[in-house]
Amino acid sequence: MNKELLTGNQAIVKGALASGAQMMTGYPITPTTEILENWAEEAAKNSNLNFLQTEDEMSAGFSMIGGVLAGLKTFSATAGPGNVLMQDALVMAESMRLPTVVFINQRGGPSTGTVIYSQQELNLTCFGGNGEGLRIVYSVGNPQEMYDYAIKAFNTAWRYRFPAFVLGDGYSAKTLTEVETYSLEERKIERVSSAPYLLGEDNSSGSVNLRNTYNLETELNTLLMKHKMAFDGFTSEIVEFDDYQTLGAEIVIVAHGNIAISAKCAIDILKSEDEKVGLFRPITLNPFPSETLRSVVQKKKLIVVIESSLGQFERMVKENLYGENIPMVAIKKPALGINPDEIVERVKDFLKEMNG
């Protein structure tokens, strides 16, 4: 174990290296560019690592798929309008059950938007493309988590063969702070291996012809139902959340990523003033920890959803709590950060209203 001074983007590259990533394809976009630059530096020093700066994010996505088909753990990183373009390749990976890892550091949207922060790429990352959202999305909130979940994303993608994402933001990506780095061996984490899909060693059963087009509606339907069953089958193995002080709380804040970390600080302040407030933070946004959230909010007086988007996360929470009859309010600030003091203030207002 080492303690290093790293930015979130540097931590992502270190995590990718620790987990055995062998190739990166990408196109520069703020706030993920340093991932590309740092990997380019690593690849310049180590001939076992491959790197390609592509002409756009579609090419980045499809050349990533090329690397995966050839058997290398290949990844990319993007944001905003780049995330939009890359969805073309990512739904192909979803449809063909190819493992991919993409780091998304959210910037403000819609469109070009702003360059550094938002939580507005939730819909796109969880459900982007003309597919059904069969993908694994980890929402992270600081550089340490970027390191930890980089490692986890590669293992999850290659174990279950669905696209995996680490959804961060520019604040976390650009923050320079202490990060604990470690090898998989010292933490006894298994490194899931990678094998080629095409030109593999075993060609005893003839050639492999992979397609992405189907003649009949029933053919595609059967395939999708099979994928869905596989996805649902491992959901309980990978679903992750953080439950902070919800036992005995009257109010449960539901937030993810950077905002969940801000909310945690707010809860510590509120606790010191004897307010009964807790936090439920989904770490996997897809699949969503719905059963746990449902049990956590039972008999609570109020759910407070907080997000740096205009209801993308609130919709997700509502969908997963469908049928529960618990009052819900939301703090929605698209493309803006929300600091702990503001959360403290707003929660106190809610408490005042609630207790008349």
Partner 1 sequence: MAENNNFPKSWKKSSKPHKFCPGCGQSLALKNLGFVIDELQIADKTVYACDIGCSLLTWDMFEIDTIQTHHGRVVPTMVGFKLAKPSAITIAFMGDGGGYAIGAQHLINAAMRDDPITAILINNANYAMTGGQMAPTTLVGQKATTAPNGRDWQKVGKPIHGPEMLAEIAQEGSYIARTISTDIADCKTKIRKALQNQIDGRGFSFIEIISMCPVNWHTDALQSLDFSEKEMTKVYPLGEFKCPQKLA
Residues that bind partner 1 (CB under 8 A): 22-23, 25, 50, 52, 54-56, 58-67, 69-72, 74, 88-89, 92, 196, 198-199, 203, 206-213
- Radius of gyration over alpha carbons of the chain, in Å? 21
Name the residue nearer to partner 1 (CB basis): 211 or 299. Answer: 211
CB of 154 to partner 1, least distance (A): 16
Quick one: which of 289, 293, 306, 295 has its CA closest to 345? Answer: 306
If the CB atoms of residues 66 and 133 are measured against partner 1, the closer one turns out to be: 66
Q: Choose between 209 and 325: whose C-beta lies nearer to partner 1.
A: 209
Least distance to partner 1 from the beta carbon of 76, Å?
Answer: 10
Query: What is the closest distance, in whole angstroms, from the C-beta atom of residue 211 to partner 1 in the complex?
Result: 4
Parallel, antiparallel, or unpaired for β 241-244 and 277-282? antiparallel
Strands ordered across the beta sheet of 284-286: 50-53, 23-26, 74-78, 101-106, 164-169, 136-139, 284-286
**28 or 334, CB closer to partner 1?**
28
Comparing CA positions, the residue from 95, 55, 50 lying closest to residue 74 is 50
Count the alpha carbons within 13 Å of 243 in the hemisphere toward its beta carbon: 13
Q: Is 274 exposed, middle or buried (0-12, 13-18, 19+ CB in 10 A)?
A: exposed
Which CB atom, from 56 or from 345, has the smaller least distance to partner 1?
56
Least distance between partner 1 and beta carbon 61 (Å): 8
Question: Shortest approach of partner 1 to residue 119 CB, angstroms?
Answer: 29
